[in-house]
Amino acid sequence: MAAGAQTGSEYIKHHLTNWTFGKDPSDGVWKIAETAQQAQEMGFYAIHLDSMGWSVALGFIFILLFGLVGRKATTGVPGGLQNSIEIVIEFIDSNVRDTFSHTNKLIAPMALTAFVWVLLMNLMDLVPVDFIPQIATYIGVHFFAMDPHHVYFKIVPTTDPNVTMGMSLSVFFLALFYSIKNKGVGGFVGELTLHPFTSKNLLIKLILIPINLFLEGVSLLAKPISHGLRLFGNLYAGEMIFILIALLPLYAQWTLSVPWAIFHILVIVLQAFIFMVLMVVYMNMAHDTGDH
């Protein structure tokens, strides 16, 4: 939607609202939200159709692209696409070998998937902020007779905390599974209750258990929260700057958006890398059994 059709605050709010499907609390009907307030009132069980759709679509692009290159890979001089993918795979494999000190065939493919998938989602932030939303508005108005002010369509899944927290919680629960599998229930509980403070005196050890449990519990729960919110915060901030630039006169947009986009490429790649590395670190900690 063009910035000129709205005030600056309305334009920003519109671009930061997801295409939401959920249960309207006013009448109990499941439908697509027509306003940002209605989307917010739909609560926990509402689905952000745009975030979900782009996440799945980009995941399929990753699978199809890597699968196609894998089937057509040659041992001779590789083409440009094959060479690029091989560089990415070798880069991820090298980082996994340096970070993960155990044996688990799942970790390297999971790290590759996380890095490429997050990178593709982050790259959507470089698409001009009005380009795809205007296409969505045109389709909504001309094919579904929708009010243009009620057409919401975000295209960067990693600016949605539901997506980033969903990924981080998946890593968290997988780390819990491997932690209990490798250390046993007793070892896992002991890790939470007997560290970092311990004593050979049984009474003091019992006194220290609730203190250790509090400290280790906070540390454990902070991992998925920081893992997901770090990615969300950086990409959300980048999207916000692009939206603010889009409110400026045309000459100023080109002057500011190009250098910011060039700088933002570094942020996009770095955040995908950090998400992947932290995932491998958490999985490595789940496999550590030295104290048990």
Active-site residue set: 226, 230, 234
Angle at 105 between CA 103 and CA 108, to 5 degrees: 100
- The residue assigned the tokens 């782009």 is 54
Closest CA to 41 of 60, 54, 28, 56: 28
Q: Which residue has the tokens 């670190």?
A: 281
Question: Token pair for residue 120?
Answer: 């593709």
Q: Are 213 and 192 in contact (CB under 8 A)?
A: yes
Structure-token match 């001089």, residue found: 77
Q: Which helix (H) or strand (E) holds 187?
A: helix 161-193
The total of other beta-carbon atoms located within 10 Å of residue 190's CB is 17
Please tell me the distance from the alpha carbon of residue 58 to that of residue 19, in angstroms, as a whole number: 18
Are 291 and 191 in contact, with CB atoms under 8 Å apart? Answer: yes
Cα 197-200-204 angle, rounded to 5 deg: 60
Q: d(Cα 189, Cα 82) in Å, to the nearest integer?
A: 46
